[in-house]
Amino acid sequence: MSSNQPKLTVLDSAKEFALPNWVFRYRIGILVVAHAVIFSCGYILAFALRLDFVIDANVRDRMIMSMPIVVAIELICFLQFKTLHGWWRYVTFRDLLSFVKPLFISLLIIAAFNELILSRMIPRSVLVINLMTSGIMMAAVRSSWRLLKEGLFSMVHSSEGQSRAFMISTHYESLVLANQVNSQQNSNTKIVGILSSDKSRVGSSRAGMPILGLMQDAPRLAANFDVTEIWLVAGSLPGTELAELKLLYDQYGLKTNVIPSAVDRNPGGGFIPVRQIEIEDLLQRSPVQLDNKRIKNEITGKTVMVTGAGGSIGSEICRQLLPFEPKKLILVDHRENSVFLIHNELGQIKNDNISLEPAVADILDRERITELFETHSPDFVYHAAAHKHVGLMELQPGVAIRNNIIGTKRIADIANDFGITKFVMVSTDKAVNPTSVMGCTKQIAERYCLSLGEYSKTKFVAVRFGNVLGSNGSVVPIFKKQIERGGPITITDERMTRFFMTIPEASQLVLQAGSMGEGGEIFVLDMGKQVKIVDLAKKMIELAGLPESAIEIQFMGARPGEKLYEELYFEEEAMIPTDHQKIYAATHRVLDYNDVLQCVATLESASTEGEGSIRRLLKDYIPEYDCSGTACNADKSTNETLLKIHADLRPELSGSAELASTADE
C-alpha cells in the first residue's frame, strides 16, 4: 500500500456521499432527532409485539401519552453517557456494546417513573421488549455505514489493480486489522482470508474473516485465491519462524509485508502504514512485555534525568518514559544538536503535564552537573552517556577511561550526594571477560556504581545488554551502506557471533530493570541465541532483493579488542531468575569500595600516560581482560611509573575511604 495515500476526513466522506455542508453543521441536532425517531419506533414496536399487533384505542392512547416521557429519558441517558454517535466507519462489537449501559439505565428510570408517577400506565413486559427493540434498531443503524462500506461501496470502488493478500493471524488484533484494511476507501489491497498457526481453527471464521489454512499453506492457497501478498503484524512471530516463512514465500513469489503493532500506529486512524520485512523482524524474539503498573508507580509524577539523551539508547529511553508521565524529564547530552533534536521530537508528542528540560552538559563537568541537580532535584537518573565504539576506544584508551569511568563516577557521586532515589547505569555484555578497553571501562564503571551503592541511600543498579540493532555505529547501518555501494561487506571473522536486540527492546529493559532494582543488582536480558554476523549479512543482502552472489563478503581478520562471541556474565556470576520471565539478575563478586576507588583514581591519573601503561593497569585490575595482540605488556620503566602513581594516590584515597565509612550513617 502506498505510504502517501491521502487520509480520509469528514469532508472527504461528505463529498463521497454528496451530503450538503449543513448536515455536518447541525450534526448534533440531526442525531437527536434521528435517535428520537429510533426510540419512538422501538417503543411502538414493543407495544405491537406485546399485543400481537392488535392495539385498541385505549392502549394506543396510553402509548401516545407515555411515549414522550420514555423517549426523553432514553435521549437524556444517551447524552449523559456520551454515546449519541452517528454511523461508525470501523464499528466493532465493543462499539455496539457501548449503548447497552444507557439503555439499561433508561429502563430502570422509566420503570421507576411508571410505578411512582404513571400508575403503571405502561405494561412491564413492554418495557423489557422496548429494551430489545431499541437495542436491535440501534445496532442496525449504527452498523449501516460499515455494512455499506464493506458491501455495496467496496464493490463499486474496487479496481482491477487492487492486490489481494492473506493476513497471518496470531491474535485478535490481526482480525480487526484485516477488516479495517478492507473497509478503507481506495485501498490498494484486499485481505481475502486469514492464515493461522492453529490447525483446529482452519475452516472457521473469525470477525467475519475466513480462516483458510495454516501459515505454511500460503503458496498452495495463493493460486486459488489470486493472492500475491502476505501481511502480518510486527513482532507477532519470532524471528526464526518468520525467516523460515519468508524463505518459503519468496520461493513462490509472494511478497511479505509488515503492519506496525497497535503500540506503534497512530491511534488517530487513517491509512495503515505497511512496510516490507526488515532485519529487525527476522532477529526479533518474543517481544519483552513491560510491567507497566510497576514502572508507572515509580515514574509518574517524578523528576527523571537521562544522560546521553541524544544517543540511540538514551533518546529511546526518553520516548519510552513519556507514556508513564514523569513530572519532569531532563535531557542531558554534551552534543548541542542531539539535545535540540530529541527535545524537539518529544515536545511534539508529550502532554501538557510533562516538563521537558534540555541541558547541554558534559558528565565530566562536575560544576555543570551539580548545577542541574540543584536546579531540578531529579528522583531518578538513567545513565546512558558513554563512549561505546570498540575500535575507536582501542586507539584512545585514555578518552575511554575519562568518559566511561571518571564520567560515571562524577555523576554517580553527585547522585549520591543529593540522595536521589535510584541510579540506573546502562552497561554492556562487553564488560564480561573483556577483550577491549571499552569493555574494561564499563566493567570498572559497574564496579564503582555497585560498590558505592553499598554505602549510599541511593539504589544503584546496572543493566547489561548486547548489540543494539540500528543504533549509531552498529553493524546493520554499516552493512546497509556497503550493500548500497555494491559491496563488499566487510566482516572481521567468519566465526564471529553476537547477541542482538532492538533499540526499543534495550530501552524497555532499562526501564523494567530500573523499576525492579532494589540496589546492587546487575540485570541481564535473556537474548536467546547468538547470531552469526555472516548470516546477518546474507539476510540483509536477501532483504535488499539481491542474490547472495551479487555482494562480495570479505573477511578482514579480528581487530584489536574484538571478541569472537559475547558473554552476559562471568563464570562466578550466577543467573538468578526475577519475577520477569525475560530478565535475570547476575550476582556480582564482592566489591570493596576503597579498592574500587583506588582503581578508579589510579586509572584517572594514568589516562594521560601511554597506551601500554593503561592496558597494563586494566590487566592488573581485571584479570579476565584478554588483551592479546595489544600493547598489554609494559616495560620496566612503565611499571615503575605505575607504582609511583599508586604511591602518590594513597593519602587521597585514605581520606576518601574515611568518608565512605560514614556514608551509611
3-state secondary structure of 428: strand
Strands 205-206 and 209-214: antiparallel
Question: Which of 388, 409, 430, 442 is the catalytic position?
Answer: 430
DSSP states along 301-315: T-EEEEETTTSHHHH
* Total count of residues recorded for the chain: 665
**Residue 246 to residue 381: CA distance in whole angstroms:** 42
605: left (phi over 0), alpha (psi -120 to 50) or beta: alpha
**Residue 188 to residue 420: CA distance in whole angstroms:** 54
Residue 167 CA, chain-centre distance (Å), reads 23
Strands 459-465 and 275-276: unpaired
**Inter-residue contact 229 to 274 (CB < 8 Å):** no
The CA angle 590-591-594, to the nearest 5 degrees, is 150
**Inter-residue contact 429 to 392 (CB < 8 Å):** no
Residue 175 CA, chain-centre distance (Å), reads 22
Beta strands in 405-475 (DSSP E): 422-428, 459-465, 467-469
**Residue 8 to residue 185: CA distance in whole angstroms:** 8
325: left (phi over 0), alpha (psi -120 to 50) or beta: left
Which residues is 459 bridged to in the sheet? 422
Q: Which of 597, 602, 644 is nearest to 619 (CA)?
A: 602
**Residue 112 to residue 117: CA distance in whole angstroms:** 8
**Residue 626 to residue 632: CA distance in whole angstroms:** 9
**Inter-residue contact 328 to 354 (CB < 8 Å):** yes
- Environment class of 168 (CB within 10 Å of its CB; exposed 0-12, middle 13-18, buried 19+): buried
Output b/e per residue, 350-378; b: 16+ Cβ within 10 A. Answer: beeebebbbbbbbbbeeeebbebbeebeb
Question: What nine digits make up the cell of 285?
Answer: 524474539
The CA angle 495-496-497, to the nearest 5 degrees, is 115
Dihedral pair phi/psi, residue 305, rounded to 5°:
-110, 135
**Inter-residue contact 509 to 474 (CB < 8 Å):** no
**Residue 230 to residue 617: CA distance in whole angstroms:** 57
Dihedral pair phi/psi, residue 224, rounded to 5°:
-70, -30
In the annotation, is 430 catalytic? yes
3-state secondary structure of 600: helix
The catalytic residue positions are 430
